[in-house]
Structure 1
């Protein structure tokens, strides 16, 4: 699998293109992502959202229309795609698939696993493809997503971190902002964050 990344917009939100078996998956197309995505895909098959915050979903609708491919969004965050308290000018989008917690999809042999880790927002999820975990705003390098936003829940984040601690495998984490890390690397900080929420 190959992974391309480009930080987008004022919050430098990472937009990813993960290519597996010749299929391009566009993950979190944020502000101004459309041109970069169009220049870097050859066989796009789906747009995947880790969660519904505006800086991760801004270009959803534009790419849906230009590429004629389905949009997958965690069910708990669908309401955020058309109602942003921060950015009322958010171009609304509508998912083709409302992803249930921990749902897995098979794209002609390429497995895509959404793993539900609410707290930052109700639908917050990681997306696993091969040996990569796209963590959105759940886990960053030595940090976690904020829990002081509308619809955030510190209690849910604690429970999510407890589940994250118990993952018994390692993958490279590609977060929504900043640098890559690994599951094992970030598991060692989970107790610290749990105790400080």
Structure 2
């Protein structure tokens, strides 16, 4: 009796619990299937996005393109912004007539000052090329320009010390002469 009565009372509850467990299992299976599809879909979407995304542009390619289109100031600007001194020297090397470049280009004073700063740091690497460019850059530098007054003193001091160091270590009479001349010019600009 008691067992039968217990089964009659509990049986519907057990039946409902069993049905509920089956429904939960089915919902979980459906959820997992949907989640798996979503993850696979996102994975494929990111692969597709990577394949269709434009590749990162190499700064050297940009500079090369600018030089080919004779946009030298823009090439210098990109080279200077890159922080890679070798790129700046490359633009210098690829600009055949330094004098006419400085006479026809209206370079911003910030670019001129930054160019002087980079050339000063590269003096030991390629002194002949740097001297050529420094001589012309200093001629177009306008020390009274408000856009460069904050950095001018530091750049000129750095240039002065770079030239002085090169002069002390150089065995070449020509280099020594160029150093003396530039030192005088820089000294006059500092006062």
TM-score by length of structure 1 reads: 0.32
Q: Which has the larger radius of gyration?
A: 2
Larger proportion of helix = 2
Larger proportion of strand = 1
TM-score by length of structure 2 reads: 0.33
